[in-house]
Structure formats: C-alpha cells, structure tokens
Amino acid sequence: MTLISDHFNNFMGNDFSDKLLNNIVGLLKPVLSPVQVDYSNALLADQIYGIGIILFILSVSILILLLSFMINIIIFIYSDKLMNFFTNKYIRWYIAFNKKIIGIEICFLGGSILYFMYVLSYGIHFIATHPIIIN
C-alpha cells in the first residue's frame, strides 16, 4: 500500500493527494456520520450481529450468483460454435432453445445481483452508522 501511495505522491505531488483525500472524506462524512439510537447497546449489538450474519450469507449467495452469471454468459457467447458441432435438428433446436432461456436468465441474474449488492451496501451502511458506544 505504501509503495502505491509513494509512487502516486511522487507522480502527482503530496499536496494533490492530500486535497483529493480530504475531498473524498468531506463527501462521505455526511453519509457515514454516526446515528444516535434510543435503545440499549446490548440490543444494538444483537442487531449488528444478526445483520452481520445475514450479510455474510448474502455475500456468499452473491458470489454464487456471479459465478453462475459468468458461466451463463460464456455459454451464451459460445452457443453458436457449439451448435456447429451437431447436425441433428433436435440437438440444434435444444441448443437454440437453451440460448433463449439463458438470455432471459442473464437478465434476471444481472438484476438480482444488482439488487443484492444494494441490500449488502445498505446493511453495511447500517453497521457503519450505528456504532456501539461504551461509556
């Protein structure tokens, strides 16, 4: 990490990187400012624990969906080359039918991945903005 920042500072100058970092932090500060809660820290800790488990399961399911999305795109792209290997009209019809189904599936997988990423970022935002304050 320091190697990259050293090269960046040598290339752009130290003042530019400081200004850039301050601008990014200034933009994110209102979004990530802590929120006060009216209930106990124990209940907040339980909520954050439960959200953490759900977010872990969600991130694993996003990885599985992303893997299937990539496999479907590869099959969709190379289905014409696969169709050229066969001369049987039923096999060619099956491949053409699967190409249409995979096209629909790619649309649904892309939408569901985007939605799950939104839910993941919303949960992480909750965890970031609700710190457990120990007095």
pLDDT digits (tens, 9 = 90+) for 44-75: 899 999 999 999 999 999 999 999 999 989 98
124 within a domain of the structure (yes/no): yes
With 70 as the cut, is the pLDDT of residue 83 above it? yes
Query: ∠ CA(90), CA(94), CA(97), 5° rounding?
Result: 135
Total domains present in the chain: 1
3-state secondary structure 12-34: HCHHHHHHHHHHHHHHHCCCCCC
pLDDT digits (tens, 9 = 90+) for 39-52: 888 898 999 999 99
88 within a domain of the structure (yes/no): yes
Q: 60: domain range?
A: 51-130
Predicted local confidence at residue 13, as pLDDT = 59
43 within a domain of the structure (yes/no): no
40 within a domain of the structure (yes/no): no
87 within a domain of the structure (yes/no): yes
42 within a domain of the structure (yes/no): no
114 within a domain of the structure (yes/no): yes
